[in-house]
Amino acid sequence: MNEIYTRNVPGMTEVLSKASVGIAGCGGLGSNAAVSLVRAGVKDLVIADFDVVEKSNLNRQYYFLKDIGKKKVEVLSDRLKEINSECKIKVFDKKLERSDISGVFGDVDILIEAFDKAESKQWLIEEWSSKFPSRPIVSGNGIGGLGKNEKLSVKKIGSLYFCGDGESSEEEGLCSAKVSIVANMQASLVIELLMDK
């Protein structure tokens, strides 16, 4: 076993090394969740985002000054391989459309919804649920503003899971600590679901 994982919870490394996780959107939720999943032992990820790193992303997303102007998926893929060089990262660097979902994420066990706009979250959840009704999708919902940790929760409706406070939006502004908590709630839930499979 790779020495990276010697401090893992017993049993998780074996399960996670065989799992495949999709991440739709590599911003504050997606980039932080991806890093946690790889640190936990996930080696097979499909990451999708059309955007490039901007300076204003650095208050919450897992990118550095040297990354500005580069494609998020490419930077994130390299960063994940710097944590574990055995990772296999598939990247999709165009804007995702409904018709892309089966082709891009068809082979993953679980999808993390990490889009920015509510409209995009809606069509992705609808599309995923109609194509793969029994496969879990873990959505980030309510990450804006400050604090209120006590309001953060996981809401489960069948194979749909919502992490966040369910009521705040990005219009309130975004704080790295809160965004990272929710990203890690998503990652933690994905790990738990994979272990329970």
From residue 63, alpha-carbon distances to 26, 67, 161, 172 in Å are: 10, 6, 27, 22
Q: Least distance to another protein from the beta carbon of 82, Å? A: 24
Residue 168 in contact with another protein, rule: CB under 8 A: yes
Task: Give least dist CB 139 to another protein, A.
Answer: 8
Site for another protein in 48-77 (CB under 8 A): none
Measure the CA angle with vertex 132, ends 128 and 135; round to 5°: 100
**Left, alpha or beta for 136 (phi > 0: left; psi -120 to 50: alpha)?**
beta
Contacts of 84 (CB under 8 A, 6+ apart): 2, 4, 38, 43
Which residues sit opposite 71 in a β-bridge?
52
Site string for another protein, 98-137 (x = CB under 8 A): ---------------xxxxxxx-xx--xx--xx--x----
Q: How many residues belong to the site for another protein (CB under 8 A)?
A: 39
Q: How far is the CB of 3 from another protein (least distance, A)?
A: 34
- Beta-carbon count within 10 A of 35 CB: 19
Residues at the site binding another protein, with contacts judged by CB under 8 A: 25, 27-30, 113-119, 121-122, 125-126, 129-130, 133, 139-144, 155, 157-158, 160, 162, 164, 166-171, 174, 179
